[in-house]
Chain A
Amino acid sequence: MLRKHLSEFSLDKSTLYFSEHHLSHAASAFYPSPFKKAAVLCLDGVGEWATSTTWLGDGKDLKAISQINYPHSLGLLYSAFTYYCGFKVNSGEYKLMGLAPLGKPKYVDLIMENLVDVKEDGSFYLNLTYFNYTRGLTMINEEFENLFGHPKRTPESLIDQFYKDVAASIQHVTETIILKMVKYLKEVTQVDNLCMAGGVALNCVVNGKIRETKIFKSVWVQPAAGDAGGALGAALALYYNGDVTRKIEEKDSMKGALLGPMASRSETENILSNENIKYKNCSYCELASLIEQGSVVGFYTGRMEFGPRALGSRSIIANAKIPDIQKIINLKIKKRESFRPFAPIVLAEDYHRYFVSNYDAPYMQFTDYIQSDQFPGVTHVDGSCRVQSVSKEKSPEFYQLLNEYKKLTGESVLINTSFNVRGEPIVCSVKDAISCFMRTDLDYIFLNGFLVDKKDCSELQVDEVYFGAD
Chain B
Amino acid sequence: MRYILERIKNFLWAVESFLVELCCLILYFLIFCPYSLILKIFKVNSLYLVNRKSKTFWVESSKAKTIFEDQY
Chain A contacts to B: CB under 8 angstroms: 15-20, 23, 50, 53-54, 62-69, 72, 117, 119, 121, 123-129, 135, 141, 143, 184, 237-238, 241
User: CB distance B57 to A17 under 8 Å?
Assistant: no
Q: Give the interface centre of A72, A129, A241 by most chain B CB atoms within 10 Å.
A: A129
User: CB distance B58 to A129 under 8 Å?
Assistant: no
Chain B contacts to A: CB under 8 angstroms: 35-36, 39, 45, 47-48, 51-52, 54-62, 64-72
Majority DSSP secondary structure for residues of B touching A: loop
Measured CA separation A238–B69 after assembly (Å): 11
User: CB distance A66 to B58 under 8 Å?
Assistant: yes
User: CB distance B58 to A64 under 8 Å?
Assistant: no
7 shortest A-B CB distances, which residue pairs? A64-B61, A123-B57, A66-B58, A127-B48, A129-B45, A123-B58, A17-B68
Q: Among the listed A16, A121, A127, which residue makes an inter-chain contact with B58, where contact means beta carbons less than 8 Å apart?
A: A121
Q: Among the listed B48, B59, B68, B69, which residue makes an inter-chain contact with A67, where contact means beta carbons less than 8 Å apart?
A: B59
Shortest distance in angstroms between B48's beta carbon and chain A's nearest beta carbon? Answer: 4
Shortest distance in angstroms between A53's beta carbon and chain B's nearest beta carbon? Answer: 7
Given A18-B69, A241-B68, A125:B58 Cβ within 8 A: no
Give the A-B contact count at a CB cut-off of 8 A.
Answer: 78
User: CB distance B54 to A125 under 8 Å?
Assistant: yes
Measured CA separation A300–B57 after assembly (Å): 47
Residues in A neighbouring B56, C-beta threshold 8 A: 119, 121, 123
Given A128-B48, A129-B45, A16:B72 Cβ within 8 A: yes
Residues in A neighbouring B62, C-beta threshold 8 A: 64
User: CB distance A119 to B55 under 8 Å?
Assistant: yes
Shortest distance in angstroms between A117's beta carbon and chain B's nearest beta carbon? Answer: 5
Measured CA separation A135–B36 after assembly (Å): 10
